[in-house]
Structure 1
């Protein structure tokens, strides 16, 4: 048995040596792979630099032409004025409002100014001046996070753990959020003043929202009536306790006492308990009054620029608003770069023609 022990140790040492060799080989391959990626990225960067250097005059020329075209557009384009209003949706009107604005935009694209003038209660000439309507949430990500926290409190805890913030945003439309910014662009400065009330009127005229508002107001009115009746009964009871206390004061030797929960505390009377309940009920009345005021309007205007629109001299590119000069300069520069890259790629493919 003693003769076999050295053989076992030698076998274990060989196995460990092979294992360490295998691990070292894997790490070497991994580092070589990562190094090859960085090397290729560096070569790509160098090739891109030389490509730009070779075509620098063409790219500069494209940028200058784009700049000149942007200046020309600024001088010749009919000025467009944008006005906006921040609204609060007291009901889930977001989708209906979004579709309504898209309908107006479709009428503008189809040049159906007659239908647009009738829908917005403006003249045909004013309808011809309309450019587009836009709706977007005014909430930033931090404010949306607060909405998400409130949403989690309202749903089942198991489901709340499944829905994270990113999933919540992916499954929410921008128009679902309570506060929205409506933008009206036109070639006339003061059209928002005429158009905004009509947009809200068209939304509030939808029968579904009218019925929902009526049901809510009726429910709050019923709650108010019940509370008022409770207050009247409480007032009557307090008067009874007043009379009892007056009789007790007239006859100090009386064995009668008015106590709460039989605690023996003569300073804590039923009258005080009723008074505390009255305070709670009156607070509830204040809450109901506040809620009635909030749903008194289906869509509520928070703020608006109703006097004159702001001159718009910008276009959107990759979610950035750029002036006409910058927009067309960058756009033409990018298009020229892509065309040059495309031609270079086709030239590279020509090298394989003979091999095919």
Structure 2
């Protein structure tokens, strides 16, 4: 009976044993690898900790030699910041009615170069202002008034409309023609608060009004609007005349059999025995309202087109600009602290002697 039971193949036991041994060795290697990583990390942490303690010890040992120069640099920057001329900054918000972006940016760049080089004569001539006012101006800046949130909203709206767009947000912002964005911000820097007034903002705007090309473009657009308004007014006049003819026709029709004493009480909606006449006076009235609305829109557009660039918001309350000494005061103090720390670190480990001993040409032979 037992002879008929299936006999287990000894090769299968050998294969399973080898498999388990291989798996065991694999896990041992993985464990050794993880241990080696932890050892390296612990060694790095140990070295970093020792280095920090060494630095602390050097700072403690040479505390006054390190801290006093740092305090001296800090005090120097404070004193120079106090002695430096105060500088204020304010800006105006303008609206471009034409594609004047390149002209705007190049003009402001030119004005900034004149102001930063203290060329008050050329700046006063360029802006048509007094030399005294020009001498007070220290610089100009220009930038679009479209913030990051607006650019992102525009980008994602564009993605919703077109799923095949592959351009990234950064590229969208880079390629966008922000110079010709309607709202732009022009900032002016000066050492005096009385510079930021309406006369200066008007002088800046006037530099664009004198441009020949945009004056020709403005005249062309104004003529187009005037011609369109003229055509619409002519259509409105004809519509009003036709409406009057309808009214007279209806009066004649409905009041032909009414006595003279009753005519004053009779209106166009009088319910009498005559059949109703279908006229188009309502359609004419509706058309007149549409024409009047279109004329008003064109008149509003004409006001905007009349100005190449206009001021949306004048100069706001000027704010004091952080001077260079105040801006870099903390950085200079920290740099001084680390430089002196490194100097005493080199002395502590005699790095100079090591370089002198091993930095000779005969070592290369």
TM-score of the pair, normalised by structure 2: 0.68
Distance in 2 separating the partners of 1:290 and 1:125? 39
3-state SS of paired residue (1:243): helix
Verify: 1:121 aligned to 2:107, yes or no.
Answer: no
Counterpart of 1:295? 305
The question of 1:241 aligning with 2:238 is answered no
2:285 alignment partner, one of 253, 268, 275: 275
Q: Which residue pairs with 1:216 in the alignment?
A: 221
Query: How many residues are treated as equivalent by the alignment?
Result: 325
| Structure 1 unaligned residues grouped into runs of 5+ | 1-5, 7-12, 259-268, 317-323
- The Cα RMSD (Å) is 4.7
For the Cα contact (< 8 Å) 1:81–1:186, is it kept in 2? Answer: yes
Residue pair 1:63, 1:329 contacting (<8 A) in 2 also: no
Q: Which runs of 5+ in 2 are unaligned?
A: 1-8, 10-15, 257-271
Any idea what the Cα deviations from partners look like across 1:243-295, whole Å, max 9, x if unmatched? 2322332366656732xxxxxxxxxx511111111222222122112211222
* 1:143 aligned onto 2:147: no
Paired residue for 2:176? 172
Contact 2:109 2:140 in 1 (8 A): yes
Bigger Rg, structure 1 or 2: 2
- State the match for 1:314 in structure 2: 322
Residue aligning to 1:263: none
Q: What is the alpha-carbon distance in structure 2 between the residues aligned to residue 339 and residue 196 of structure 1?
A: 48
Q: Secondary structure at the match of 1:292?
A: helix
Distance (Å, rounded) in 2 between the aligned partners of 1:198 and 1:235 = 47
**Alignment CA distance shift 1:273-1:253 (3 Å):** same
Distance 1:198 1:71, change over 3 A: same
**Contact 1:59 1:333 (C-alpha < 8 Å) held by counterparts:** no
**For residues 271 and 41 of structure 1, do their structure 2 counterparts lie closer, same or farther at Cα, with a shift above 3 Å needed?**
farther
What SS does the aligned partner of 1:190 have?
helix
1:78 aligns with 2:85: yes
Distance 1:107 1:216 in 2: 34
Contact 2:87 2:323 in 1 (8 A): no
Corresponding residue number in structure 1 for 2:277:
257
